């Protein structure tokens, strides 16, 4: 059983479109995250939710809107896609507590053309 699953795995879309990436975890974790990995493999946090509440929003353009309908799901909606949004987006989850033992999904490779 996949612990953290993201869909789709690949997403190719045109500039200006709106798209969503879905994430689900079956680990019973309270905290979920979105990370962005650029073409140089650099990973940076975008958002963190704890029990459906936004905890971290790291200077991300407001074209990116996370939504957490329940603590097992954290979706990422992106409006007006730009070329610079092309990256791999990783969802992750971790239990509450001092140890951020985060489990990552397989990633969604977004290509904006």
Partner 1 sequence: GEDVEQSLFLSVREGDSSVINCTYTDSSSTYLYWYKQEPGAGLQLLTYIFSNMDMKQDQRLTVLLNKKDKHLSLRIADTQTGDSAIYFCAESMWAAGNKLTFGGGTRVLVKP
Beta strands 53-57 and 43-50, pairing class: antiparallel
41 binds partner 1 (CB under 8 A): yes
Which listed residue (31, 75, 80, 111) binds partner 1 by CB under 8 A?
A: 31
Binding span for partner 1 by CB under 8 A among 19-27, 66-74, 78-86, 104-112: 104-112
Which listed residue (40, 62, 69, 70) binds partner 1 by CB under 8 A?
A: 40
Three-state SS annotation for 59-104: CCCCCEEEEEEECCEEEEEECCCCHHHCEEEEEEEECCCCCCCCEE
Question: Would you mind telling me the total number of residues written for the chain in this entry?
Answer: 113
58 binds partner 1 (CB under 8 A): yes
Say how far apart CA 54 and CA 33 lie, in whole Å. Answer: 10
Beta strands 87-94 and 53-57, pairing class: unpaired
Q: How far is the CB of 42 from partner 1 (least distance, A)?
A: 6
43 binds partner 1 (CB under 8 A): yes
Minimal CA–CA distance to 93: which of 85, 82, 101? Answer: 101
Q: How far is the CB of 16 from partner 1 (least distance, A)?
A: 28
Residues that bind partner 1 (CB under 8 A): 4, 31, 33, 35, 40-45, 48, 50, 55-56, 58, 90, 92, 94, 98-107
């Amino acid at each position: 059983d996949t612990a953290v699953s993201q869909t789709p795995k690949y997403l190719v879309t045109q500039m200006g479109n709106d798209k969503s990436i879905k994430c689900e975890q079956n680990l019973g974790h309270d905290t979920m995250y979105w990370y962005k990995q650029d073409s140089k493999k650099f990973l940076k946090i975008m958002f963190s939710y704890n029990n459906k509440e936004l905890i971290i929003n790291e200077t991300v353009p407001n074209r990116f809107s996370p939504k957490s309908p329940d603590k097992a799901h954290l979706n990422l909606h992106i409006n007006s896609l730009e070329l610079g949004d092309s990256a791999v987006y990783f969802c992750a989850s971790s239990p509450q507590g001092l140890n951020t033992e985060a489990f990552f999904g397989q990633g969604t490779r977004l290509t904006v053309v």
